[in-house]
A and B are shown apart, each in its own frame.
Chain A
């Protein structure tokens, strides 16, 4: 069965420190991988995606993610966290053969303290 796992419900980071939000997936075929961010009472905003090519993908607001095929992971990273990065982060995968259906992880709440 297709699935996406975000093993941490919450990640706490001090401002200025690096952050990592973890994501692993299990899908058949070649995965299309995405990260989205959700601020309170808002819709989801696209951060970055991996379709093919370089395993390190750069996205919006200084975020990047590393695709690791052998570990079936797509962890979200940022070298220096900001308080304004505090939000709910979702990893999602579009699996091979799907027209566009996304499978989402349960979300990770990122809290960045000053």
Chain B
């Protein structure tokens, strides 16, 4: 039982490039979400999904896209990377009514 797995752990992008951050969970949780962590700002919700085929925007969705074709996977796409997207990204999954399980994070630098 691996929990929540994120790949890659580190990534450097040039401004304007696109990429996908992968997130997979093996706990059969319906709810999954993406957060970004910036110094002094805590974690802010980017997008979330309450089940396969259902996604919605969080607090800071601009510049990001998500899809949820299966219960297990919830990839986050950066459409055209900007330096303001330099951050640490965390994926989380929740069994309704319980605590969130977080992945180990992806540290992204956009130059």
A-side residues, CB < 8 A to B, are 4, 9, 34, 36, 41-46, 49, 51, 90, 92, 99-102, 104-107
Number of A-B contacts (CB under 8 A): 59
Give, as a whole number of angstroms, the nearest-CB distance from B46 to chain A. Answer: 11
- A106 to B50, Cβ gap below 8 A? no
How many B residues touch the partner, as a band? 20 to 34
Is B74 part of the contact surface with A, judged by Cβ < 8 Å? no
A110 to B25, CA, bound (A): 30
Query: Which residues of chain B from 95 to 111 have a CB within 8 Å of any chain A CB?
Result: 96-105
- A99 to B50, Cβ gap below 8 A? yes
B-side residues, CB < 8 A to A, are 4, 31, 33, 35, 40-45, 48, 50, 58, 90, 92, 94, 96-105
- A100 to B42, Cβ gap below 8 A? no
Residues of A within 8 A of B103 (CB): 43
